[in-house]
Structure 1
């Protein structure tokens, strides 16, 4: 394998027109430089320089070697710059997912801030079902995912870490038959269709069990929607109910449109996770984004109404 340092020695000799000037530029002795060239010529089996009373001259093979060696050093320098920048936040690529898909709302505030702070980092996002996110993590199509990912703990190829437990609250439109300060029972709620994403574990079984116990006329959820904003529009225009993270539902403008019951006990807080491939190390590009997301989610948990 070629020693790039020796390649650089040959190029510098050709550039300076002699061993003495090149040795001074390279800050090595002339004898060491001569030995370096001899080793390289022996390794390649060619003569790079012809030595004569008037100095040195490149052979035909030497000229071709200088041309190829210059390209080689330029490419090596490019690779070194790339590796150096990959160890920093100057550049890089981050691919992340969310599941259920409606949980992408958690990066709406974080991503604009991250993109402004780290303009050299490329970001790709996807929001899918838990099963689809699991497949993309295992295939390497995404680096990490956030959301309600309890179901992935059974997969040995994936690592799931709990970030926070987020309180959830049921809500209906103002003017709904249940629009009252008194909290409804689950039986009362389940008399109406539910709109929202596919129930996330560990709430999936709880919701189904309660629906069966109440002989609910609707499946849970009855209207499967992967967009939180679309869920709001449906609830606002129908008698359907839905759930929102309590911190979002605490906004004054939310209360103007919807009746929210905070601290509703039948449904416990929802565990929020980050999932990665087992053994995956956070890259320099991914690390600050994950930290910003974790801080955002934990802040929502801390600020949730009680």
Structure 2
């Protein structure tokens, strides 16, 4: 019978592509790791790896087993977390994701309060685009995420809870040539490189229609801190929700570009996303409540 230990060993080898590196990563001798993989192959009745002189690759059976192994291990981890968290969240682990904009303000506020209330809960936060976070959620690598949910609202596999809409602003560095214009037009703005995070399909289309050129953005980056520094150090422009820009605007690091009406969308479309039909762990429930509480306070 296949056990979780063998599956962990198999995933380690698959991810490292090398027995010696995998053995070192999981603190196991290479002969012991090889025996574990051989036992797993014998139990399943198939070869999981094509073994070359210098590296190894997954067989078709190996690819299938890897997909299921990751889900089984994630399920085992979720069960362990749920049991360990039962009773005042004195232990356990929470894995969540966030898009670049929620990760810049909303999520840090909620996580800070979670850490204050439940200091023994370990948290792993992944900051990625909404499409990548969806894949991680369905593969059970994370339990929930907050990101742009425009492309996710009709997905039957997901539970999407919309959050408050935040006004979007174009921003640039202080002293940018566009600031000398009383009311920069779409054509004026389109003359400069535009940096942004990954956009939903409809958002990218409307932005291209508004500025009259494509493809956009010219520079795609899903790290808001990098985007902000890029804009601060150059004539590149970008746009973001008003709440994540507030401190930089007040401190004079950045400036906004009027008029707001040039923007191709009314505002942000954050949503809290989890798997449909799956209950959240106690830690995830606590964080969800804090996110919604922070979302109301920020109005």
Residue pair 1:180, 1:259 contacting (<8 A) in 2 also: no
Residue pair 2:95, 2:144 contacting (<8 A) in 1 also: yes
- RMSD, matched Cα: 2.5
Q: Aligned pair in 2 of structure 1 residues 135, 249: CA closer, same or farther (>3 Å)?
A: closer
User: Who is 2:152 aligned against?
Assistant: 152
Q: Per-residue displacement from partner, 1:184-207 (whole Å, max 9, x unpaired)?
A: 222211111111211246523321
**Residue correspondence of structure 1 range 209-220 to structure 2 within 5 A:** 209-211=209-211, 214=212, 216=213, 219-220=215-216
User: Who is 1:143 aligned against?
Assistant: 143
**Residue correspondence of structure 1 range 193-204 to structure 2 within 5 A:** 193-200=193-200, 202-204=202-204
d(CA) in 2 for partners of 1:189 and 1:93?
A: 45
SS of the aligned residue for 1:166 comes to coil
d(CA) in 2 for partners of 1:282 and 1:87?
A: 15
User: Who is 1:291 aligned against?
Assistant: 289
SS of the aligned residue for 1:257 comes to coil
In the alignment, structure 1 residue 235 sits paired with structure 2 residue 231: yes
Q: Per-residue displacement from partner, 1:26-84 (whole Å, max 9, x unpaired)?
A: xxxxxxxxxxxxxxxxxxxxxxxxxxxxxxxxxxxxxxxxxxxxxxxxxxxxx9xx848
User: Who is 1:281 aligned against?
Assistant: 279
How many residue pairs match? The answer is 216
SS of the aligned residue for 2:163 comes to strand
Residue pair 1:246, 1:262 contacting (<8 A) in 2 also: no
SS of the aligned residue for 2:96 comes to strand
d(CA) in 1 for partners of 2:233 and 2:175?
A: 10
The structure with the larger Rg is 1
d(CA) in 1 for partners of 2:208 and 2:89?
A: 45
Residue pair 1:149, 1:201 contacting (<8 A) in 2 also: no
Residue pair 1:102, 1:127 contacting (<8 A) in 2 also: no
Residue pair 1:89, 1:121 contacting (<8 A) in 2 also: yes
Q: Aligned pair in 2 of structure 1 residues 87, 183: CA closer, same or farther (>3 Å)?
A: farther
Q: Which runs of 5+ in 1 are unaligned?
A: 1-78
Q: Aligned pair in 2 of structure 1 residues 298, 272: CA closer, same or farther (>3 Å)?
A: farther
**Residue correspondence of structure 1 range 102-117 to structure 2 within 5 A:** 102-105=101-104, 106-117=106-117
> 1:170 Cα shift?
0.5
Residue pair 2:168, 2:241 contacting (<8 A) in 1 also: yes
d(CA) in 1 for partners of 2:245 and 2:166?
A: 12
SS of the aligned residue for 2:297 comes to helix
Residue pair 1:173, 1:259 contacting (<8 A) in 2 also: yes
**Residue correspondence of structure 1 range 162-181 to structure 2 within 5 A:** 162-180=162-180
d(CA) in 1 for partners of 2:276 and 2:88?
A: 23
> 1:264 Cα shift?
0.7
Q: Aligned pair in 2 of structure 1 residues 202, 86: CA closer, same or farther (>3 Å)?
A: farther
